[in-house]
Structure 1
Amino acid sequence: MNTRFRNSVRYWRTPLLPGADMVTAEYLDHEFAPHWHDAYTIPVIEAGAEMYDYRGSLHVAETGTVPVINPGELHTGSRATEDGWRYRVGYVPVDFVQRLADDIAGRPQPLPWFPAETIRDPDLARRVLRAHRLLEAGGDPRGGHPPGGDPRGGDPLAAEAALIDAISTLIVRHASTDPQPARLAADNPRIETMKARLTADLAEPLTLTELAQAVDLSAFHAARLFTRATGLAPHAWRNQVRLQRALGPLRAGVSVAEVAAASGFTDQSHFTRHFRRMFGVPPGRWQSP
């Protein structure tokens, strides 16, 4: 009999992987808006199936698969069946993956890059799942464990070994190198100028007309050019940057209201709504794993 999942998510962190965010979740009907992460998104589907739009194609990740998303790449997420899905995700910092790739090769390597297709490698899925569970169980060298983790604590030596085993296996079996950027189109300088204008002061009110004037285009043509290049309208792209930059202050304990104001959102509820659509949980719950 199929299990019908519910919307339940917990964010947590581990000192064994500094700078990473970890997720243990199940979703029935949550839909992630198009977004990106600055880290590698490395999930394992424990049950059910997730559907996601990535690199221009719709993919389905079923139980026992590892649908990796490369850093900075736009994607979505929703249920692939009416029952939803359950998964574990690690948002693994780029520098950790890069250092591990260098260590494996014994010399500096290009940035590892993973295929757009869902990775169907049962052995890898078992390794990723084991690492995630051991880290969640409390592999904390200070002797603690995350709320909701195994109250018996855990073995940090085993947890870290499992982590390195899982990510190194992923790299060795499935990584290529970061593809070289295509030859810059004539309008690329305009796109970069608009990005710089959008991010110069995230709290500054900015109209589309003002943005277009910075690149000597009409509002219509500026919006069309930017959306075609990035996959998001200028205001949506700017909100993604705001959300990414909000993570650091939230981790540092700054209040949600202060972060919302500093990030340029009109109010806390506006910030919370966008944050939940991207991360699947309100910022207050994300802040206190």
Structure 2
Amino acid sequence: MTSTRFRDSARYWRTPLLPGADLLTAEYHDHAFTPHWHDAYTIPVIEAGAETYQYRGSRHVAEAGSVPVINPGEVHTGSRAIDEGWRYRVLYAPVDFLQQLANDIAGAEAPLPWFDADVIRDDDLARRLSHAHQLLEVNGDPLAAHAAMLDALSTLLVRYGRTRPDALQNAADDPRVNAMKTRLSDELAAPLTLAELADTVGLSPFHAARLFTRTTGLAPHAWRNQIRLQRTLAPLRAGVPVTDVAAASGFTDQSHFTRHFKRMFGVPPGRWQGN
């Protein structure tokens, strides 16, 4: 049997049934995602081929029929695991939506849902997620699409939802790292040196950079670029011109913004905005 080589093709889209969410239908061969993170839960279904990615210090391979969930704020990469590449569907589910769904399932206030690093291999779950994604994409019967989405996501939570480990929570709550994140997030267009950042928490530049990178998985400058990129999504959705978004977000020019955006999302910002 002759294998099919996938091409780099991605379509981002949205649905009123899940406000604030982004959905992706894509296939990739040459594109490789650099280390990055999302504010939302990343819930992919691999439909063909295989993807490899670095996550929580290990290399994972997600083949067809698997569901490699990534928790919000956690750094990961992505590239082809086999010569053909991979094809998948992804739902970027807002944290507040999945939290409310977990509360509804529990009938009470539930802990923030968290997922293990291992690739989920569950054919039934993969079918539910893929089916819901397809119904949302064709924009047909909203009643059927909404029900399928809730069925798929509740199945994911019931079968694989966990509580965030204390070690991860404690690392995320380090007051020095939080102080540096705040400094990095304020006035994104303003220049900031590593020495100035280190002064925020009373550490040397070396120790500040090492602590920050060990805790977040990204160097301070790379983390700041991720914040910049995350904050471009809302104005892009609202139709703000790409040039204006780039300037307001602290990128030196539109080409600089486009280069970083494509590394994270697989498409240039103009095409992401136009989908």
TM-score, length of structure 1 as denominator length: 0.91
* 2:150 equivalent to 1:164: yes
Unpaired segments of 5 or more residues in structure 1? Answer: 139-153
Q: Which residue of 2 aligns with 1:145?
A: none
- Structure 2 CA distance for aligned equivalents of residues 29 and 196 of structure 1: 36
Asked if 1:190 is matched to 2:176, the reply is: yes
Percent identical pairs in the alignment equals 73
Which residue pairs with 1:9 in the alignment? 10
Match of 2:193 in 1: 207
Structure 1 SS opposite 2:121: coil
Letter of the 1:12 counterpart: W
Partner of residue 280, structure 1: 266
Match of 1:214, SS state, is helix
Q: Of the candidates 251, 254, 257, which is equivalent to residue 243 of structure 2? A: 257
Q: Shift of residue 161 of structure 1?
A: 0.8
Distance in 2, Cα, partners of 1:52 & 1:230? 17
Q: 1:97, CA displacement in angstroms?
A: 1.0
Q: Aligned-pair distance for 1:86?
A: 0.2
Structure 1 CA distance, aligned partners of 2:175 and 2:99?
A: 29
Match of 1:78 in 2: 79
Matches within 5 A, 1:1-289: 1-138=2-139, 154-181=140-167, 188-289=174-275
CA gap of 1:117–1:155, structure 2 versus 1, over 3 A, is same
Q: Cα offset for 1:107?
A: 1.4
Q: Could you list the per-position Cα deviations for residues 90-148 of structure 1 after superposition, in whole angstroms to 9, with x for gaps in the alignment?
A: 0011111111111112112111111110000000000000000000011xxxxxxxxxx
Q: Which residue identity is paired with 2:32?
A: E
Change (3 A) 1:249 1:175: same
Cα gap change, 1:119 to 1:136, in 2 (>3 Å):
same
Q: Deviation per CA, 1:66-107: give whole Å up to 9, x if none.
A: 101111111111100111000000001111111111111211
RMSD over aligned CA atoms reads: 1.5
**Unaligned runs of at least 5 residues, structure 2:** none
Q: Distance in 1 between matches of 2:99 and 2:233?
A: 22
AA of the residue aligned to 2:89: R
How many angstroms apart in 2 are the aligned matches of 1:174 and 1:161?
20
1:39, distance to aligned residue in structure 2 (A): 0.6
Instruction: Report what 1:142 is aligned to.
Output: none
Deviation at 1:51, TM superposition (A): 0.3
Cα distance in 2 for partners of 1:243, 1:3 equals: 33
Give 1:243 shift.
Answer: 0.6
Q: Residue 155 and residue 46 in structure 1: after superposition, are their counterparts in 2 closer, same or farther (change >3 A)? A: same
User: Aligned pair in 2 of structure 1 residues 104, 182: CA closer, same or farther (>3 Å)?
Assistant: closer
Q: Aligned residues, how many? A: 273
Q: Distance in 2 between matches of 1:175 and 1:89?
A: 18
Distance 1:214 1:102, change over 3 A: closer
Distance between the aligned counterparts of 1:270 and 1:82, measured in 2?
A: 30
Q: Which moves more between the two structures, 110-119 or 174-183?
A: 174-183
Instruction: Give SS of 1:41's match.
Output: strand
**Normalized against structure 2, the TM-score is what?**
0.95
CA distance in 2, matches of 1:173, 1:183: 22
**Tell me, what secondary structure is at the counterpart of 2:23?**
strand
Classify 1:183/1:249 alpha carbon distance in 2 versus 1 (closer, same or farther; 3 Å). closer
